[in-house]
């Protein structure tokens, strides 16, 4: 039997952080709550050395394409992710691009 999404993608999101002015008039960032998101996925290595083109036309190298079900939250570019196969860390890096298609969502890392 083939398992469509054998890996786990993990990344942290911070919610509720605010900027405040303290008694000295300095800006202070009050941290919000950090939540770790886990998503079933499939990591495929970029074994061919392909590149993606950024919005400004620059060629961006990536190490992995991550395929996920459509119903996942969007992952912003620059988010640091970790990929696991069971308990083993198989990939780590920052998101270069996110795309939600008709059949699945994809990340380039």
Q: Check if the beta carbon of residue 39 is closer than 8 Å to that of residue 105.
A: no
- Averaged pLDDT, 47-56: 86
What is the pLDDT at residue 93? Answer: 95
What is the pLDDT at residue 17? Answer: 72
Q: Who has greater pLDDT, 24 or 8? A: 8
Report whether CATH 2.40.10 matches the domain 7-108: yes
**In the chain, where the domains are located:** 7-108
pLDDT digits (tens, 9 = 90+) for 57-90: 889 899 999 999 988 888 999 999 999 999 999 9
DSSP output for 37-48: EEEEEEEEE-TT
pLDDT digits (tens, 9 = 90+) for 14-46: 777 778 888 888 888 777 788 899 999 999 999
Quickly count: other Cβ atoms within 10 Å of residue 58's Cβ: 9
The tokens for 31 are 């941290």
């Amino acid at each position: 039997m083939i398992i469509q999404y054998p890996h786990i993608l993990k990344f942290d999101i911070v919610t509720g952080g605010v900027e405040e002015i303290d008694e000295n008039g300095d800006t202070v960032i009050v941290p919000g709550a950090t939540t770790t998101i886990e998503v079933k996925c499939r990591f495929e290595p970029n074994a061919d050395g392909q590149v993606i083109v950024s919005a400004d036309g620059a060629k961006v190298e990536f190490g992995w394409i991550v395929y996920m079900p459509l119903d996942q939250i969007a992952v912003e570019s620059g988010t640091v992710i970790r990929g696991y196969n069971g308990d083993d860390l198989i990939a780590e890096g920052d998101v270069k691009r996110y795309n939600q298609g008709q059949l699945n969502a994809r990340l380039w890392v």
